[in-house]
């Protein structure tokens, strides 16, 4: 089987972190078969991160959210319209192999609609996804998402995944980032600490009081910038108004590629288990991440330059989006003074002095 002659479709619609993890699959495939054709089906906003990926020949953007809204409203007309639109998007292409690394009933249907002879899915997925696959990836020992996703390549003879996440940005975003930071009075020669305090799971959020205790004692020359979505503005404002250390907020002001460009000029990211962690990993920004209901062994960076603090609470790694005790005790138990000390140490390290991993076209 000559993979270089194959047309692949990768199906990973969302979320931000999972899409970033899946870029390692496309990169590994490209390394082993440099002349193959790779198409990726993704949904906004995560699809923005794939627009400049050098390993992807064609990006197909399909709005999964519109489909799910139609399903929630029992709108058969809108459901049909969404699927017809997807069918039209597939029409110009003839795929040999589909790699479904999302593993939903929906993505199983999508994979079937692509009309490829081989459809390879991830073992252990739910929602009857396997019914639509012609074969499944083998069981592997590593629990990490990157390794689990890359297992779909093993039936093709590709067994050594590259753990690096891929995110390449155009030079226009380089210029955007410099202008954006300078306009806000940020000194690019001084430490820039990015802080992403909000996640999509309540159970993964470190308390506001802990952020204040960790950030307030930092040296005055450390420029603190909070980032997030528009939905995070209220939570971020709550933290900032109670801090004595000066800070900025850019929550809701940037696209994901713009945030990635700003990360390039930053020194360190403090975050939980959320999308910006993986964007930072892809652009070479050092990170300090806080973990409770999830574990870095499954979701964290696989390459050097990243530090994780894992809660030692008794029910850590419950994988619950809402704390079944109602207290978020695992995240609360992460000591703010320990986090502060780690921030200071990391900002003094060579890793945080200069970020060179991101290359602009």
pLDDT value at position 86?
87
pLDDT value at position 58?
97
Classify residue 78 as exposed, middle or buried by CB count within 10 Å of its CB (0-12, 13-18, 19+).
Answer: middle
3-class secondary-structure state, position 83: helix
Asked whether residue 360 carries a pLDDT value surpassing 60, the answer given is no
Count of positions (residues) in the chain: 361
Whether the Cβ atoms of residue 8 and residue 97 lie closer than 8 Å to each other: yes
Confidence of residue 98 (pLDDT cuts 50, 70, 90): very high
Counts of helices then strands in the chain (DSSP H, E):
13, 12
Asked whether residue 317 carries a pLDDT value surpassing 90, the answer given is no
Whether the Cβ atoms of residue 7 and residue 36 lie closer than 8 Å to each other: yes
DSSP secondary structure letter of residue 138: P
pTM of this prediction?
A: 0.91
**Domains of the chain, with CATH numbers?**
3-156 (3.40.50.2000), 171-352 (3.40.50.2000)
Q: Which residues sit opposite 225 in a β-bridge?
A: 194, 248
What does the pLDDT look like over 6-16, one tens digit per residue?
999 999 999 99
Spatial distance between the Cα atoms of 21 and 163, rounded to a whole number of angstroms:
8
Which structure tokens are listed for 300? 């964290």
Asked whether residue 85 carries a pLDDT value surpassing 90, the answer given is no
Asked whether residue 358 carries a pLDDT value surpassing 50, the answer given is no
pLDDT value at position 151?
95
Q: Which residues sit opposite 7 in a β-bridge?
A: 37
Q: Which helix (H) or strand (E) holds 25?
A: helix 16-32
Which structure tokens are listed for 330? 């695992």
Of 296, 295, 302, 303, which is closest to residue 319 (Cα–Cα)?
295
Whether the Cβ atoms of residue 204 and residue 273 lie closer than 8 Å to each other: yes
3-class secondary-structure state, position 118: strand
355 or 152, higher pLDDT: 152
Of 151, 146, 147, which is closest to residue 135 (Cα–Cα)?
151
Mean pLDDT of the chain: 91
Which structure tokens are listed for 220? 């005055």
Q: Quickly count: other Cβ atoms within 10 Å of residue 101's Cβ.
A: 27
Spatial distance between the Cα atoms of 5 and 304, rounded to a whole number of angstroms:
35
What does the pLDDT look like over 106-151, one tens digit per residue?
999 899 999 999 999 998 766 788 999 999 999 999 999 999 999 9
Whether the Cβ atoms of residue 40 and residue 154 lie closer than 8 Å to each other: no
Which structure tokens are listed for 263? 């990360």
- The alpha carbon of 91 is separated from its chain's Cα centroid by a whole number of angstroms, namely 29
Confidence of residue 341 (pLDDT cuts 50, 70, 90): very high
């Amino acid at each position: 089987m000559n993979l270089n002659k194959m047309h692949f479709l990768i199906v990973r619609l969302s979320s931000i972190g999972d899409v970033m993890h899946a870029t390692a699959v496309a990169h590994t495939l490209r390394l082993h078969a440099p002349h193959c054709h790779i198409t990726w089906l993704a949904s906004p906003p995560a699809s923005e991160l794939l627009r400049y990926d050098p390993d992807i020949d064609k990006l197909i953007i399909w709005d999964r959210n519109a489909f799910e809204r139609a399903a929630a409203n029992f709108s058969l007309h809108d459901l049909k319209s969404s699927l017809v639109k997807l069918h039209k998007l597939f029409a110009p292409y003839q795929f040999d192999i589909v790699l479904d690394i999302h593993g939903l009933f929906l993505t199983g249907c999508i994979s079937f609609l692509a009309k490829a002879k081989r459809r390879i899915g991830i073992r252990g997925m739910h929602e009857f996804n396997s019914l639509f696959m012609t074969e499944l990836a083998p069981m592997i020992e590593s629990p990490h998402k990157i390794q689990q996703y890359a297992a779909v390549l093993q039936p093709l003879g590709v067994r050594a995944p590259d753990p690096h996440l891929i995110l390449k940005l155009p030079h226009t975003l380089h210029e955007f980032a410099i202008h954006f930071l300078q306009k806000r009075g940020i000194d690019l020669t001084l430490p820039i600490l990015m802080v992403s305090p909000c996640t999509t799971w309540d159970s993964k959020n470190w308390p506001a009081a802990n952020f204040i205790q960790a950030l307030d004692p930092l040296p005055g020359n450390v420029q603190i910038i909070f980032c997030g979505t528009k939905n995070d503005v209220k939570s971020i404002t709550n933290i900032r108004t109670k801090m004595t250390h000066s800070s900025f907020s850019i929550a809701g002001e940037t696209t994901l590629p713009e945030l990635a460009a700003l990360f390039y000029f930053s020194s360190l990211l403090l975050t939980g288990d959320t999308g910006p962690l993986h964007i930072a990993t892809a652009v070479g920004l050092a990170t300090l991440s806080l973990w409770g209901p999830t574990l870095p062994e499954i979701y964290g960076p696989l390459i050097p330059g990243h530090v994780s603090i894992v809660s030692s609470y008794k029910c850590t790694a419950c994988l619950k989006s809402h704390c079944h005790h109602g207290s978020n005790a695992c995240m609360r138990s992460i000591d703010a003074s320990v986090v502060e000390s780690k921030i200071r140490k990391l900002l003094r390290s060579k890793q945080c002095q200069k970020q060179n991993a991101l290359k602009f076209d």
